[in-house]
Every structure is written in C-alpha cells, then in structure tokens.
Amino acid sequence: MTNRRSLVSLVIGLLWLSTSSYASGQEQAESPILLSGMSVSQGSQVEDNHPLNLNDEILIRLLYRVAKVSERNFVKFSQYSSESSITDALTQPRNFRFWVFKLTGKVAGVKKLSIPNANSDDGLKFCYAIDINTEDNEKIRLLARSIPKTWTENTALNQPVECHGFFYGLIVPTADGTDEDAMGLFLTNRISWRPTDENAELGVGPSQVLLASQGVDIGLLDFVRKQNTKSLGADDTDCFFQMLAASRKINVADMPGGYVGFVDLMQNPKEHFADHVIVEGRVRRCVPVQIDDPGTRELLGANQYYELDMFIHLGDQKIVVKNSPDSSLEYRQRFPVTVCIAELPDGMNENDIQDKFVEVHGFFYRFWKYQSEFTDQGDGQGGQVSPLVIGLAPAVLSPRAFILDRFLMFILLGLIVGVIALIWFFRWRKQDSPTGKSSSRKRLPETVDLSTFDSG
C-alpha cells in the first residue's frame, strides 16, 4: 500500500513539474507581448498582407490599449526588440506580433482616419495614419491617437519623429496592392517631435529648435498650452522636466540672438511658449524643490531644482490682471515672475541668492496659478497668476550697476519726455494740431485679461 502511495506521489510530482515547466515556457514566450494585453492565440488571428481594416476588433482593442501604456513601460518592453530590427519584424511578422519597437524616421504623409461605429463615450472617434521612412530605410505606417496640433497633412512632411509602438503586422496600402507593396503597421498613443529646422507654419522658431536639439519633445507644448493659467499638474510633468534638463546643457552663448521682452510677453503670451526670454529683477525667495521620482532624477541629473520668486520692476506703470470675468488684481511698481532653474550660480546656495538682483536667460513655459500673500489679501478668487520661466543659471548683478542702469534709464526717459513736452509746447504756440504720437518706449498693457485664455 505504501509503495502504491509513493508511486502516485511520484506521478503527481512529475505532472506538476511538467505543467510548471510548460507554464513557465508559455510565460517566457509571451513576455515580449505582455504589455499589449494580447495573447499568442490572438496574434495568430491577425492576417497579414491585407488593406488596413479599422473594423478589425483586435486592431481597435490595441488602439484602446496604447492610450493606457506609459512611455516608461514602452521603453521597458522595447528591450525585447533591442537586438532585432524593424526589417526582422517585416520579414517574420508572426514572430514579432505585438512586440514593442522603437521607431525613428521622417514623416512621409499624414491622414486623419475616422473609426467606424465609434462609441461617442469612449473617446476613440478617429486616429492618424502616419507614413514614415525609418532610419532602417523601411517604409512603415503608424497609427497614432494624436499628433501635434500644428500639423496638417502637408505641413508635417519630412518632420523627424520618434516613438515606441506595438508591431501589428503587414498591410498593403491599397485594396489592389500586392505583397510586394506591403508595409509594417505599428500602433502608438502619440509621437515625439524634435524639429531640426525652423518652420513658422508649425510654430517652430530658433528657441524650439535649440530645445529639441537637447532632447525636448516640442509636441508636448500642446499639453502646456492646454494648461495655461492653471496650477502645475500631471500633464506638465514631461515637458517641464525635459525643458529643465535641457537648460542644464545650454549656455547663454547658445541662446538665440532675439528674445521676447516682458512687455511683449504680457501683451501676447500665447504666441511665445518655449521662446527665449530674459528676466531681470530681485529674488524675493529661493526654494529648493525635491524630486522623488527616480526616472526624473536621472533625466535631470539632480535630486532637486530651485524655484525663484522674482519681482519685475514696473516703474510708473501698472498692470491690471483679470483672472476671471469677475476677478482682477492691480499691480503697481512691481510684478511677480516665477523662474525654475536646475542650478544656482557657482558657489551659491538658496540663502545666498535671496534679495540679489539677477538676470536670467530662459524659456517661457506658461502662465501658472498659485496662492500668494497678495491674492490672500485680495478677493481670494482664482489665486495669483504670473509667468513661469524655465531658466539657465542666473547671473548676479551688482546692486550699484542695477540701480545706476535704472537711474540712467529714468534720466533718459526724463530727457525724452522733456523734449516731447517742448515740441508739444511750440506746436501749441503755433496752433498746430497734435500728431497723436507718443514716446517710442514700449508700455505695458493696462489690462492683461487672462480669463480669455484657451487651449490654443
């Protein structure tokens, strides 16, 4: 009886080992496609060398899936294809179905496609078909759920792009296409766009090209525009820290020759996202901000950054800021600006720089909202709204030079006003009509209406 039990136990043990080995083998075989949420059996149902079919249930499920996958996970699972090429996937589609690949190349065409039988509640009503000539000299089609807002079917041509996406299979571009015309089909949520050339039609100037050269995805500015005048949130994370990391690698000498002045910024801020700005004023407060996320620390190369609360001197001018149709605040003599920097000047800490007059070259990020002593004393509605700049390391100005510079400026302005007064006086004496012209000095808008800002 004992021998029989031993035999049964041995058989059960062998069965368990064989089952475990099979399960382990299945898990290992499916691990490259785990992120897709698909199975090997679903992959076997996909037919290659057919025209794109947006009624394909598996394809639509994968389009839903890409919106839920973080970029960090895309990068993680792309390691499985790191020793394979896109050409390998195109020649052996069944072996690489639903794998994640890193895709780089230039746009050959863009087309917006409607999703048949789309449910109005699920947010997937259309996608974009982007034809790309890859760095591997392959032609692929990428289905993305979004593209940069400035792109059209014509303006996006030849733009450099990069993304991680799921390989789906082979499609023929037209209904009468042959297998020789087949191209790889990949799916992703969005693409990274780092333009190398200026393009006014796409809103790309020298500042955006400089940032892109240091790793900033200019397409992320769409999220920044959408968040304008709001508090910093999760949608800001990627662009904010990419721009902050880029600022560590850029010197003042690298910055574009032209820059946006404070007056221009206040008059038309929606035209200047990521443009070169120069901020000059007194540092009221410097606060170190700790970074908890390991990936962000690695990107920035530091465990913290610094937030400078600065005041811009207005002279005799004033600004009335409308935060909402029913709420406004009036500023005289000075206006607050927030500057975020990755590094302080050499040899200085956060205490040393407080109350110093500094000049900071940087990039306008957006207007942001926060609570301050000034708004707490006001009507309490909306909070403080002021420009947020991502800057290079500040240059500390000599107080004497700072005051002298303004003293000379006011003397010059006084002379100009005096000359203008004399001209007007003599014209009045001659009974000439006024010309209506004013001083050539740019003046701030008396009212800055931030309540009308939108996502554009």
Does 1 reside within a domain?
no
> Phi then psi for 213, rounded to 5 degrees?
-65, -20
Output the pLDDT for position 448: 58
Looking at the structure, tell me whether residues 160 and 206 fall in a common domain: no
SS (H, E, C) 335-364: EEEEEEECCCCCCCCHHHHCCCEEEEEEEE
Looking at the structure, tell me whether residues 46 and 92 fall in a common domain: yes
Question: Torsion-angle region of residue 381: left (phi > 0), alpha (psi -120 to 50) or beta?
Answer: beta
Output the pLDDT for position 287: 96
**Whole-number Å distance between alpha carbons of 238 and 83:** 28
**Whole-number Å distance between alpha carbons of 231 and 371:** 10
Structural domain span for residue 373: 202-210+246-401+445-452
Which CATH number characterizes residue 284's domain? Answer: 2.40.50.140
State yes or no: pLDDT of 71 exceeds 70: yes
Does 407 reside within a domain?
no
Other C-beta atoms closer than 10 Å to the C-beta of 413 total 14
Does 217 reside within a domain?
no
Output the pLDDT for position 322: 67
Does 368 reside within a domain?
yes
Q: Across residues 182-208, what is the average pLDDT?
A: 96
In DSSP terms, 384 is beta-bridged to 370
Top-confidence residue, 436 or 136: 136
State yes or no: pLDDT of 60 exceeds 90: yes
Looking at the structure, tell me whether residues 266 and 136 fall in a common domain: no
Looking at the structure, tell me whether residues 276 and 157 fall in a common domain: no
Output the pLDDT for position 53: 94
Longest dimension (CA), the chain: 132
Residue pLDDT, tens place only, 5-54: 444 343 334 434 343 333 333 344 448 999 999 999 999 999 999 999 99
State yes or no: pLDDT of 218 exceeds 70: yes
Q: What is the dihedral of CA 42, 47, 49, 51, to 10 degrees?
A: -90
Start-to-end CA span in the chain (Å): 82
Looking at the structure, tell me whether residues 180 and 44 fall in a common domain: yes
Looking at the structure, tell me whether residues 145 and 94 fall in a common domain: yes
State yes or no: pLDDT of 96 exceeds 90: yes
How is residue 326 written in tokens? 């029913």
Looking at the structure, tell me whether residues 161 and 260 fall in a common domain: no
Residue 262 and residue 364 in contact, taking contact as beta carbons nearer than 8 Å: no
Looking at the structure, tell me whether residues 36 and 156 fall in a common domain: yes
Does 237 reside within a domain?
no
Confidence band, pLDDT 50/70/90 cuts, at residue 435: very low
State yes or no: pLDDT of 157 exceeds 60: yes
Top-confidence residue, 178 or 75: 75
Residues contacting 241, CB < 8 A, separation 6+:
296, 299, 300
Looking at the structure, tell me whether residues 262 and 165 fall in a common domain: no
Top-confidence residue, 68 or 153: 68
Looking at the structure, tell me whether residues 147 and 172 fall in a common domain: yes
Residue pLDDT, tens place only, 135-146: 989 999 999 999
Does 394 reside within a domain?
yes
Looking at the structure, tell me whether residues 167 and 206 fall in a common domain: no
State yes or no: pLDDT of 356 exceeds 50: yes
Does 423 reside within a domain?
no
Pick from 19-23, 171-175, 401-405: least confident: 19-23
Does 411 reside within a domain?
no
Residue 106 and residue 124 in contact, taking contact as beta carbons nearer than 8 Å: no
Residue pLDDT, tens place only, 411-424: 555 566 555 655 54
Confidence band, pLDDT 50/70/90 cuts, at residue 154: confident
Residues contacting 246, CB < 8 A, separation 6+:
211, 214, 215, 216
Output the pLDDT for position 208: 98
Q: Across residues 433-447, what is the average pLDDT?
A: 44
Looking at the structure, tell me whether residues 76 and 124 fall in a common domain: yes
447-449/304-324 β-pairing: parallel
Please give the tally of structural domains in the chain.
Answer: 2
Average pLDDT, the chain: 82
Question: Torsion-angle region of residue 197: left (phi > 0), alpha (psi -120 to 50) or beta?
Answer: beta
Question: Torsion-angle region of residue 50: left (phi > 0), alpha (psi -120 to 50) or beta?
Answer: beta
**Whole-number Å distance between alpha carbons of 175 and 181:** 11
